Amino acid sequence: MNTLSTTRRLIPCLDVRDGRVVKGVRFASLRDAGDPAQRAAIYEAQDADEIVMLDVSATLEGRPALLETVRAVRRVLSIPLTVGGGVRTIDDAQALLNAGADKVSVNSAAVRGPSLLARLSDRFGAQCVVLAIDAVATGDSWRVATRSGSTLETLDAADWASQGEALGAGEILLTSFDRDGTRSGYDLGLLRTVCARVGIPVIASGGASSAEHIAQAFDAGADAALAASIFHDNDTSIREVKRLLAARGIEVRPC
């Protein structure tokens, strides 16, 4: 597990399709959840530590992420912004960085050609490269899913995380496909397994519905917790979650 910092991060996620924030269950049955720039501004005002924005249809449609959406979010945001979706080349990543991203998330293209991680790390630095892993439970292990969960690979998720670190990824965005949008809590077994295999930060994703779920993710080794539905639906605020985490003795950035 990464031990570089004991301060945990809270990261709202903006899944974007056709310029709008969407949310569903296991990447399907998507519903509208607002304007990306407006959402980003709200979450920064609530003391979010970072924002992750993922263009969920870019890979399936064979195109890069929509740069104008990235620019619109950047204009209202001063905290770090990670952007993913359709990143297949150095030029794709450069375009996102030029549009205002601080970090670039890669998933399907890295599975197809792992050397992409090394090339991105060499060009932009490991701190800029986030390896996104969508994991599907298969018995006592987890396999990697690509193309918005539509393709199940033979890759073991923990093995791929370890390989990704060796290739130059500076962070892992680990999503439980099974838990995504279900509000049933993070897959703690998945988190523990991957965190035990890597020394870079791991962001827990998929299934949060409460501060308790987020605390459990941190207890399982996550360095950061990503959530969407509970913030989009105003079930709670980032500031309230931070208050509850601090009361449990979990170190978070102050509000």
Catalytic residues, by residue number, are 15, 134
191: Cβ contacts below 8 Å, ≥ 6 apart: 174, 202, 204, 217, 220, 221, 222
How far is CA 191 from each of CA 40, 122, 135, 142, 144, rounded to the nearest angstrom? Answer: 26, 28, 10, 11, 14
Cα separations in angstroms, 221 against 6, 62, 189, 241: 10, 35, 10, 18
Identity of residue 37 = A
For strand 151-156 and strand 141-146, is the pairing parallel, antiparallel, or unpaired? antiparallel
How far apart, in whole angstroms, are the C-alpha atoms of residue 57 and residue 86? 8
Closest among 219, 210, 215, 213 to 237, alpha carbons compared: 210
DSSP 89: S
